[in-house]
Amino acid sequence: MSTLHVLSHSPFGDERLSSCLRVIGANDALLLSGDAAYALQPGTAPFSALHARNLKLFVLAEDAQARALQVPDWAEAIDYPAFVELSIHYDKVNSWL
């Protein structure tokens, strides 16, 4: 079983990213959406944490673009059709509401 975790809150001053990283499994993936995209801000603790984890990382392209965030080569920017595909590829989706 594999899970696509989805975050949408800024990682600064919010616990969702760190809690997600505590429980995310080896076969799981993480999609950053909305303000969670700020985790790709270079030179920050969330950025380092994500880079160090070496997990399958996705970000909604529109959210990276809106925030002028460079998508590093260890993450993949996706559109909505790809989001739909991901939700099918993984056995379930866990959105951290």
CA distance 74 to 51: 7
Contacts to another protein from residues 11-30, by CB under 8 A = 15, 19, 22-25
The site map against another protein for 37-76 (x = CB under 8 A) is -----------------------x----------------
Q: How far is the CB of 71 from another protein (least distance, A)?
A: 18
Residue 35 touches another protein, criterion: CB under 8 A: yes
The helix/strand/coil state of 45 is helix
Which residues, 6+ apart, have CB-to-CB distance to 90 below 8 Å? 2, 3, 4, 28, 29
Q: Which is nearer to another protein, 9 or 73 (CB)?
A: 9
Instruction: Pick one of 12, 42, 70, 92: the residue that binds another protein (CB under 8 A).
Output: 92
Q: Is residue 81 at the binding interface for another protein, with CB under 8 A as the rule?
A: yes
| Rounded-to-integer distance, Cα 27 and Cα 3, Å | 7
Number of Cβ within 10 Å of residue 48's Cβ equals: 11
80 forms part of the interface with another protein (CB under 8 A): yes
